[in-house]
Amino acid sequence: MSLVAAARRELRPTVTLAVPIIVGQVSQVLMGVTDSAMIGHAGTVPLAASAFAGNIFNIFYVMGIGLMLPVAVFVARARGAGSPREAGEYLRHGCLLAVGFGLAELLLMGVLATQLHRFGQPPEVVAAVGPYFLLCAASIVPVLLQLTLRQFAEAMGHPWVPMLITLGAVALNALLNWILIYGHWGAPAWGLTGAGVATLIARICAPAALWLWIRRDPRLGVARSEAAAADGAAPSAPSWSSSRLREMLGVGFPAAGMLLFEATAFSVSGLMVGWLGAVPLAAHQIAITCASLTFMVPLGLSIAAGMRLSHAVGAGERDRFRPLGLSALGAGLSCMMAFMLVFWLAGRPLAAAFSADPAVIGLATGLLAVAAVFQLADGVQVISAALLRSLLDVRVPVVITLVAYWGLALPLGYGLGIFGPWGAAGIWAGIAGGLGFAAVFLPLRFLRLTRSR
């Protein structure tokens, strides 16, 4: 069978698995979109404060994502090898890692909350951000637990219920935002703090619902018990000294590093935009919210492709590696091309949906035009990184992403946006340059590893 035919054969099952994952990812981002839209109508300073808090929180969140990604990789491999008991062991160790690392991050963010004035943001923004940031920090443990449980279910081939639970959390967050930001139904009008309370409650409910479902669904909870009984072994208690945990950390730390390099590039770029004033920071928040939303499509494809590639590795089906990866890359490019056109043609209406300030709308429209330029690169790099992670190739991709984001994106953005005349658009142009570098060298690495022998 030709490579093209094999890629076509792999495309449909990848997309079928990716659809509910994408919806779940989009729903997760919609929680932030809902916050931004509802906070934005409460004023420019609250919107800028939410952007500032989000820039810092996202650094910790992305590190947690990287450490949790091995759950999907190893669960899918265990499923491909026909070992459901091993899949359950990786889930338990993933939950241990989520709680332990989440508590450490919560402590660090609690300390950082006393130092927010050192980031050079506008004084009115710093004055408003404290309670909202602490409420976001308090949500990190449930967020990581939800990620772990969802990845387990998706890697076991059951992505639809996690999607529905995530959608329910988004709806709950929107309702609580409406009540607590504006003071409806007799509640106090807490503004930005109300949005933080709403987000925390919704993020606690989501993993609780996922855990109950996994425990009760016979395809997941009971299946693990039956598998353990069949070989005469009881499920082991998760341990920090476990070989499984060491395996997960061996992939998780480099994956966290890769994601951290990219996330800090966006977060530090947001901080640099904040040096330019509240209006540029509010415009940046609008544009980054829209770009984050479209990014969920290739991210969902990357998760699905990574799980299927891990399953193929576990099953020893090497001839599927390259067709599977190329089909995912093709699907991602097609989707991101459509989003590129949306940002170019409908940037102003998108910006106007978040703010009534003409200055914010005008600047956000320009930033969305820059975001349109890097849509294709963003899709290619995230899918390629997931494919390499499924092959347990993490060291070279870490170097590529380090150069892309810290060697290229941040210095270029600082030069064009702070020293140069381009302002916020120049900072975003630096991000585009870094993404372009990663989008060239990560897929080349995958092609090299999967070439025919």
Residue 1 has pLDDT above 70, yes or no: no
Q: What's the CA dihedral at 309, 312, 317, 321 to 10 degrees? A: 0
Q: How far is CA 44 from CA 150, 250, 359, in A?
A: 35, 43, 11
Residue 409 has pLDDT above 60, yes or no: yes
Quote the CA–CA distance of 79 and 82 in Å, as a whole number. Answer: 5
List CB contacts of 62: < 8 A, sequence separation 6 or more: 256, 259, 260, 262, 263
The secondary structure of residue 451, as a DSSP letter, is S
Q: Which two tokens stand for residue 359?
A: 């200055």
Quote the CA–CA distance of 230 and 101 in Å, as a whole number. Answer: 33
What b/e readout covers 118-152, taking b as 16+ CB neighbours within 10 angstroms? ebebbeebbebbbbbbbbbbbbbbbbbbbbbbbbb
Q: Max Cα separation, the chain?
A: 69
CA of residue 105 relative to chain centroid, distance: 17
Residue 180 has pLDDT above 50, yes or no: yes
Residue range 218-266, pLDDT digits in tens:
777 544 444 444 444 555 566 665 777 888 888 888 888 888 888 778 8
Residue range 34-86, pLDDT digits in tens:
777 778 777 778 888 887 888 788 888 888 888 888 888 888 888 888 777 78
Q: How far is CA 377 from CA 90, 396, 435, 438, 443, in A?
A: 32, 19, 6, 8, 11
Q: How far is CA 374 from CA 45, 127, 259, 294, 333, in A?
A: 28, 34, 17, 12, 11
Residue range 101-155, pLDDT digits in tens:
999 999 999 998 888 888 777 888 888 888 889 999 999 999 999 999 998 998 8
Q: How far is CA 96 from CA 40, 89, 262, 406, in A?
A: 37, 11, 26, 31
Domain boundaries, the chain: 3-449
Quote the CA–CA distance of 359 and 352 in Å, as a whole number. Answer: 11
List CB contacts of 251: < 8 A, sequence separation 6 or more: 69, 70, 73, 74, 389, 392, 394
Mean pLDDT of the chain: 85
Q: Which amino acid is at 363?
A: L
What is the per-residue pLDDT for 239? 60
Mean pLDDT value of segment 296-325? 88
Query: Model confidence at 405, in pLDDT bands (50, 70, 90)?
Result: very high
Closest C-alpha to 88, from 3, 215, 186, 177: 215
Least confident of 243-247, 443-447, 449-453: 449-453
Q: Which two tokens stand for residue 229?
A: 């009984």
Quote the CA–CA distance of 453 and 447 in Å, as a whole number. Answer: 12
Query: Model confidence at 401, in pLDDT bands (50, 70, 90)?
Result: very high
Whether the CB-CB separation of 426 and 417 falls below 8 Å is answered with yes
Query: Model confidence at 374, in pLDDT bands (50, 70, 90)?
Result: confident
List CB contacts of 230: < 8 A, sequence separation 6 or more: none
Concatenating the DSSP letter of every residue in 391-435 gives TT--HHHHHHHHIIIIIIIHHHHHIIIIISS-THHHHHHHHHHHH
Match 């991602």 to its residue by tokens. 332
DSSP H or E run through 317? none
DSSP H or E run through 209? helix 192-216
Mean pLDDT value of segment 301-314? 90
Q: For the chain, give the percent of residues with pLDDT over 90.
A: 30
CA of residue 446 relative to chain centroid, distance: 22
Can you give the pTM of this predicted structure? 0.80
Residue 453 has pLDDT above 50, yes or no: no
DSSP H or E run through 27? helix 3-40
What is the per-residue pLDDT for 452? 62
Quote the CA–CA distance of 272 and 294 in Å, as a whole number. Answer: 23
Q: Which two tokens stand for residue 414?
A: 């600082």
Q: For the chain, give the percent of residues with pLDDT over 70.
A: 94
